[in-house]
Amino acid sequence: MIIGESSRHSDDQLYSQKKLIKVSLKALGSATYAPGNSTRSQRSHESSLPATLSLIFGNVDKFGGDIYYSAVTVMNEIIHKDPTCFPALDDLGLPAAFLSSVVAGILPSSKATFVPNGLGAICLNAKGLEAVNEASAHFHQKYVTAMNDAIVPLAKLTYWEF
């Protein structure tokens, strides 16, 4: 083995692992929580999924922006498809893990405009809304700038442009 080849192999393996996680999360989002899918779990909050999402939110620097984006999307879909599961997710610490990642200011990707979707899902519950209101004072300026950059152009659109 040539020096440097081992490093390249490790990089390739890490890339493959991240790609697998990303694809798995996207599959969960599009298949398991798709509208009209009667086979989706009504108790997704009882699986290991919330713990996995919390792990991703707590380690954005290791997983990267694309996986973070996919994790937020899955959390968003879980809460929107079954808002009554919020208390269980809250007990497991999932909303708190997400809010902590936003407060930390780790701008995971250019897709930071998806952060309001996660915040909106959490706000469907009164306790979640309170948590978002408390955390919003501490949101890192990078997120606020990214969200404003995405929202302001949308706000300028007229009804006819949709």
In a domain, 125, yes or no: yes
Least-confidence region, from 4-8, 16-20, 124-128: 4-8
In a domain, 34, yes or no: no
Name the band, by pLDDT with cuts 50, 70 and 90, for residue 120: confident
Look at residue 11 and give its three-state secondary structure. helix
In a domain, 71, yes or no: yes
Range of the domain at 59: 15-29+43-161
Model pLDDT, residue 39: 45
In a domain, 130, yes or no: yes
In a domain, 128, yes or no: yes
Number of domains in the chain: 1
Model pLDDT, residue 56: 94
Name the band, by pLDDT with cuts 50, 70 and 90, for residue 105: confident
For 26-63, what is each residue's pLDDT tens digit? 887 666 555 555 544 455 545 788 999 999 999 988 88
In a domain, 5, yes or no: no
In a domain, 68, yes or no: yes
Q: How far is CA 162 from CA 114, 116, 128, 153, 158, in A?
A: 20, 20, 31, 13, 7
